[in-house]
Structure 1
């Protein structure tokens, strides 16, 4: 049975991935795309997995935009602007890559995020312009290719001694901008199916519920505990995606 071009199994798979990954986002401020894209790519074509995740990230970010703008560090706007410029190239490369290769690259990107969260913290000072620029460009390329702006952004903020509210708002603002860039690029390249947007809209309540539950738990979890939790989840997601390819 098909609903808007998707099977019931694909829909159930996507809803389960959405709930779990949104919970992690609410808890930590990041991780939704890193977790969701490798899992969705097991049931959907990689391009559709990326675009569906972008649509969900944009819708969720739009519900929080006032607090994100208020609490984010100024660097988030610089990185976000560079993400917009670099995303179309990454999405174009994905559109001409065969499915198995794309799935392998996406899994490896998720694995890199697992390694990044284990890095030791640095000071609270803002990194130099070159580092900030590199984070923006690489994040944009990964947004287009894998729907994952997080791997370079997470260590940039979570690796510094900043208030958790600033870290979460900065990352989530960038991810919202990245999702907008990804969808706009897909529309420009003619690879965005409107059924994906309807699918995302239907999944939005599940995403909001998972995100709110994670945010509620976040206030009760110490910094070391949430870093270990996210590292384990990210490592598990990457390992599962890699195992599927073997």
Structure 2
């Protein structure tokens, strides 16, 4: 049995792949509906299943391809004055965050990811948002923090989501802003893991299984956005975040 066959057997015969498929389907529906959800659900779950250094690169590659899928429809409605500085600062800071992924103990990083998602979910449930103005300097600060988190944990969303959702824009504009932001840093985020050798054969095999699941789930979420009221979606989304964060933190 050659190395590719051995790797395929190891990946496909592992029960953790089925758990990842279920989590990916839920994350895809959330991403299609709200414009976010891929990383904050999958980063803690993939890290719990395979460890951060194996799980985060798979999630980053998936995030890149999903962003390409959603971006065209969001370009017309996004607020580029806010999103481009956020995305530019995040893109610059992402490689610095990736250094943490390579150097920090995997178990400690997994628990940090879980705890971070748990706190983020609780903040969303509480209704807290940033309610100040959005000057260029603050856009850059929030984007830098998001980039550091993206490189180290795969999650750039939490600070940006809390920041962008504070505005008075309608849900469609919020969704477009988030989609455009994630797309601006998606390419940068995969470069360091690829150069560092984290995108190996097992990672590509997992991606080959999980990406079609995500590709099918995202359009379902996008359709649900047109028919499901926010008051019904939010409790489900918050519960998913709390479960994902708790599993990674205490698992």
Q: Matches of 1:176 and 1:49 in 2, distance apart?
A: 20
Gapped regions of structure 2 (runs ≥ 5) = 1-5
Q: Which residue of 1 aligns with 2:30?
A: 24
The number of residue pairs the alignment matches comes to 243
Q: What aligned pairs does 1:217-228 form with structure 2 within 5 A after superposition?
A: 217-228=224-235
TM-score using structure 2 length:
0.88
Q: Which residue of 1 aligns with 2:3?
A: none
Q: Which residue of 1 aligns with 2:108?
A: 101
Whether 1:38 and 2:44 are equivalent positions in the alignment is: yes
Mean alpha-carbon deviation: is it higher for 200-209 or for 130-139? 200-209
Q: Matches of 1:81 and 1:195 in 2, distance apart?
A: 31
The 8 Å contact of residues 28 and 226 in structure 1, kept in 2 or not, is answered as no
Q: Secondary structure at the match of 1:64?
A: helix
Q: Which residue of 2 aligns with 1:166?
A: 173
TM-score using structure 1 length:
0.89
Q: Which residue of 2 aligns with 1:213?
A: 220
Q: Matches of 2:10 and 2:59 in 1, distance apart?
A: 17
The 8 Å contact of residues 83 and 180 in structure 2, kept in 1 or not, is answered as yes
Deviation readout 1:164-199 (Å, 9 max, x if unpaired) = 121112112222233211101223334332552453
Mean alpha-carbon deviation: is it higher for 25-34 or for 170-179? 170-179
Could you tell me which of 56, 67, 89 is aligned with 1:82? 89
Q: Determine which structure has the larger helix proportion and give its number.
A: 2
Shift, 1:4, TM fit: 7.2
The 8 Å contact of residues 32 and 222 in structure 2, kept in 1 or not, is answered as yes
Whether 1:233 and 2:249 are equivalent positions in the alignment is: no
Q: Which residue of 2 aligns with 1:71?
A: 77
Q: Which residue of 2 aligns with 1:193?
A: 200
Shift, 1:111, TM fit: 1.5
Deviation readout 1:32-85 (Å, 9 max, x if unpaired) = 110011111121121221111111111111122211222211111111111111
The 8 Å contact of residues 83 and 181 in structure 2, kept in 1 or not, is answered as yes
Q: Which residue of 2 aligns with 1:184?
A: 191
Change in Cα spacing, 1:192 to 1:65, as seen in structure 2 (3 Å) is same
Q: Which residue of 2 aligns with 1:119?
A: 127
Gapped regions of structure 1 (runs ≥ 5) = none
Shift, 1:227, TM fit: 2.9
